[in-house]
Structure 1
């Protein structure tokens, strides 16, 4: 077994993977692949390669990493990075997802409205996470497809969902799958703002979610952690997006579980023992988006701060707070403090947490 793991990308996910590798005696090396360079890495044949993102620019360095014989899940990243091939996979595997089609030269707005209703969501085939790369076609306002979306997007039926949930699971080299509990998520302007897990009322959906993600991971012969974002529609789930990596909605596991998603991913990749994660207590995750670091957060008795040390810009993920829920009073007190300390865009997510964490 190799003790060195190379990560395509050195953002916050790569940094947290490196941190998780330390207690396992794994040398995890996140690599900046956004800067083209001719630098060659001193890689060994038994090193492991993974990625913290689905897409990366082509350079001598990224090619060296992605062409390594132990680049685990290599073919999967491109397949899931393109929404056309991702949705096609879900259809091939008979995993429920929103009705959709490719937008091409023959696509017609009137026909899309006829098939999918008066609101149709266009999504760029690649990129466009956190609410970007999307365009709403509305029958009352738009009679023509914008030309620059043809052959670059899929069209998807608008789903009147009850709420958004996600499942983070992992698959081992020998095909065994383990899962965390379903997580309830709140998005604002397409960006994840808060997550809560576990919730007793979501337990009824756990088996269906696990069966869906097992089918997907088995179908891809996937190894490691994968996240599946879903819409809950009544008593069933529809898959919205897949992420072949550790995921924002799994950050709560850093505080709430005996094995967090980052260590679980490394264990699976490196063929170390993978156990079903033990949940120690409910946890609430608050994403820190375009907000300056406030040391008062550290005074909350149940808070763990993860600050990414990135330049603060509007809409940019710069950190997250994990709040353990060992008793209702402590959580309510911490949320009340955050409501005083955090700006206006956080008032609705904080109120949402208070409304849902006991449900």
Structure 2
């Protein structure tokens, strides 16, 4: 039986921790995000039955992070470091024979000429750890006589550039008993390496659902994972190639907050606390639009189908500051909301907003 009045600590107190806190309230789960970035000698009152999770794959070593990560109920402890390193993450995919972009470790002996010969005239380098939202990436281009940066050797992988049609992601959960449950695939748009928008569900992606579920099931089972995991993929014709894995709730699953009866944050908490998990019911389609590097605009709240999540962070260029979920009850209503946003939002949003309109044209 699950422990009564369960308490869950979150290693990290960013927006994901805040949304986990919100999701825990109706379940009477006491969710406590912890700021591990600010040095502190405080002793957390961790109970023997408390559960520890994380909102990020990597964290600095500190008194607080050591308290949390050394707790016997730190769920998925070994998984975070394994998936945070692109070398070990890619190695896992290869071991499971799950398709991913051809790749290799860049070490002291790697010659850029051989990379071009093996992978083509454009090769993408990724830092093994720390890169996200387009950071930690470096393109090698043969036409520009590109070379490997000196401090990237042994710290990066190189992978083949994939001519993909589009990007999709699958968010699923695995229980302590090994049962896996999934949301429908989401269609994603990235701009400068940052997720700008997601649309889900889409009937035209339904034929890929079983393929994606088989892949993510194999990954979660191999890791004996508990909770929500996200898998980002490239679609090439009717095949999926895994781009990245995230052992946590994920940006591309935010649409579930508006469109389903049980969002990804509640799903994660239910799995951690051994609560029942029925198949999430999708009530309608949804568009999720990330709010990046822009000031909060109260006009967004006037849209009849919009739900705003504002993270209350300092506004900085390129920083994720919130997201809008736009429910799709009627195409005409969605079109009206997107057209209003086109008038209100800056230039970098015009292409993503046009992309959304085109999907429903």
- Could you say if the C-alpha distance between residues 113 and 18 of structure 1 is closer, same or farther in structure 2, counting changes exceeding 3 Å? same
Following TM superposition, by how much is the alpha carbon of 1:357 offset from its aligned partner in structure 2, in angstroms? 3.9
The structural deviation recorded for 1:148 is: 1.1
CA distance in 2, matches of 1:63, 1:286: 35
Please name the residue that 2:194 is paired with: 191
- Count of residues in Structure 1 that have an aligned counterpart in Structure 2: 358
Q: In structure 2, how many angstroms separate the alpha carbons of the residues matched to 1:332 and 1:208?
A: 32
CA contact (8 A) 1:108 1:144 kept: no
With normalisation by structure 1, the TM-score equals 0.99
Report the equivalent of 1:159. Answer: 162
| Unaligned 5+ runs, structure 1 | none
Corresponding residue for residue 307 of structure 1? 310
**Counterpart in the other structure of 1:65:** 68
Q: Distance in 1 between matches of 2:38 and 2:312?
A: 19
Post-superposition offset of 1:334: 0.4
Shift of 1:143: 5.0
Q: CA deviation at 1:35?
A: 1.1
Q: Name the SS for the 1:352 alignment partner.
A: helix
Contact 2:232 2:242 in 1 (8 A): yes
Of residues 343, 346, 353, the one that matches 2:346 is 343
Q: Does residue 234 of structure 1 match 2:237?
A: yes
Counterpart contact for 1:229–1:240, Cα < 8 Å: yes
Which aligned pairs between 1:166-315 and structure 2 lie closer than 5 A?
166-315=169-318
The aligned counterpart of 2:103 is: 100
Structure 2: stretches of 5+ with no match in the other structure: none
SS of equivalent to 1:346: helix
Q: Deviations over 1:6-53 (max 9, x none)?
A: 000000000000000000000000000011211111011110000000
1:276 shift after superposition: 1.1
Deviation at 1:144, TM superposition (A): 3.1
TM superposition score normalised by structure 2: 0.98
Matches within 5 A, 1:45-84: 45-84=48-87
Cα pair 1:199 1:357 within 8 Å, conserved: no
Residue 29 of structure 1 pairs with residue 38 of structure 2: no
SS in structure 2 at match of 1:44: coil
**Deviation readout 1:199-241 (Å, 9 max, x if unpaired):** 0000000000000000000000000000000000011100000
Runs ≥4 in structure 1, deviation > 3 angstroms?
Answer: none
